[in-house]
Chains A and B, each alone.
Chain A
Amino acid sequence: MAEAVTALGGVAADDGIARITEGGLQGMITLRGDLANTSIKNAATGVAAVDMPAQGKANCVEDRGIAWMSPDEVLVLCPYEAVDANLAKMHATLGETFALAVDVSDARAVFLVEGAQAREVMAKLAPVDLSPEAFTPGMFRRTRLAQVPAAFWMRDATTFQIVCFRSHAAYVFDLLRTAAAPGSAVDFFTE
């Protein structure tokens, strides 16, 4: 089998006001169905080993986690190598339940924005209230970054993790780099 690579080969830029890095290969499984259904909940929690998140939240531990995407969709994160096994496990748990579980790992790209100004870099690109009171670690938001769809959450108080379509990876990286250009700090959130 061909060697799996990330969209941009793990590029990084840390000359700006925040460090931008392309994340490594991340296993992602889209699970759609009635999220109140026990088999569907078990399928997600069984492979991610975290609790089911509430609406608009994500529970993530290292490279495992569950993110709430919409009223009938969650994104299950797991190690890239474990996707096939986890998918089989999920299908076994789901049984005859009306649901959809698909490996989308290779359709996505992951970026990390780190640093004290990370909030500001994100706020320049997304139409989201990113003040420290309004957006906190644990929250998950699907939105747009300039002209493309993306989703992000905070790993900790100064780190954002972004998920976008793989075909948009170069655009998103350039975008983040521009938003984090040296000397472009507005200090809106850090009085």
Chain B
Amino acid sequence: MLTLTCPCCGVTAEETEFHAGGEAHLTRFGPGSGDEEFEGYLFMRENPKGVHFERWRHVYGCGKWFHAARCTMTLEVFGTYPAQTLAPPPDLLDTIAAKRPGWSRKDLA
């Protein structure tokens, strides 16, 4: 079971107080994009074994969305950060790099 800390209200709770919102940092392709880009935006998701970035919502608490970085294999949570960003914060990436040597964000395959 995951124990997440909501960066909006500071509450640390287990996952049943939250709701998962799927992969984070997707690039939206809307009107004017090609079929392939739109299909990718709608359906194509990473399914990594290891480090993964996700969106979560503190559904029974403050109700805010935020981001979380966790390991899909060990369920270790590396950290959570606010939703108002397009990429994970550098210090979190450093933390992950220290815990998972050799890992890089593009290296998901």
Asked if A and B are interacting partners, one says: yes
B-binding residues in A (CB < 8 A): 55-56, 69-71, 73, 127-128, 141-144, 149
Q: A127-B16, A143-B17, A144-B16 are in contact. Are A56 and B11 (CB under 8 A)?
A: yes
Choose from B8, B9, B17, B64 the contact partner of A127 (Cβ within 8 Å): B17
Q: A127-B16, A127-B17 are in contact. Are A149 and B60 (CB under 8 A)?
A: yes
B63: chain A residues within 8 A (beta carbon): 70
Docked-complex contact B17 and A70, CB < 8 angstroms: no
B11: chain A residues within 8 A (beta carbon): 56, 141
Chain B residue nearest to A150 in the complex (CB):
B60
Q: What total of A-B pairs shows CB separation below 8 Å?
A: 34
Chain A's interface: helix, strand, loop or mixed, by majority? strand
Choose from A70, A143, A144 the contact partner of B64 (Cβ within 8 Å): A70
Docked-complex contact B60 and A70, CB < 8 angstroms: no
The 8 closest A-B pairs by CB, nearest first: A70-B62, A144-B60, A142-B61, A149-B60, A127-B14, A71-B8, A143-B60, A127-B17
Min CB–CB distance B10 → chain A (angstroms): 6
Q: A55-B10, A56-B11 are in contact. Are A71 and B16 (CB under 8 A)?
A: no
A-binding residues in B (CB < 8 A): 8-11, 13-14, 16-17, 60-64
Chain B residue nearest to A69 in the complex (CB):
B62
Chain A residue nearest to B8 in the complex (CB):
A71
Docked-complex contact A144 and B17, CB < 8 angstroms: yes
CA–CA, A149 to B18, complex, Å? 11
Choose from A70, A128, A144, A149 the contact partner of B9 (Cβ within 8 Å): A70
Docked-complex contact B61 and A143, CB < 8 angstroms: yes
Min CB–CB distance B83 → chain A (angstroms): 12
A127: chain B residues within 8 A (beta carbon): 13-14, 16-17
CA–CA, A65 to B68, complex, Å? 34
B9: chain A residues within 8 A (beta carbon): 55-56, 70-71
Q: A142-B60, A142-B61 are in contact. Are A70 and B13 (CB under 8 A)?
A: no
Min CB–CB distance A168 → chain B (angstroms): 12
Chain A residue nearest to B7 in the complex (CB):
A71
A55: chain B residues within 8 A (beta carbon): 9-10
CA–CA, A55 to B64, complex, Å? 15
Chain B residue nearest to A126 in the complex (CB):
B17
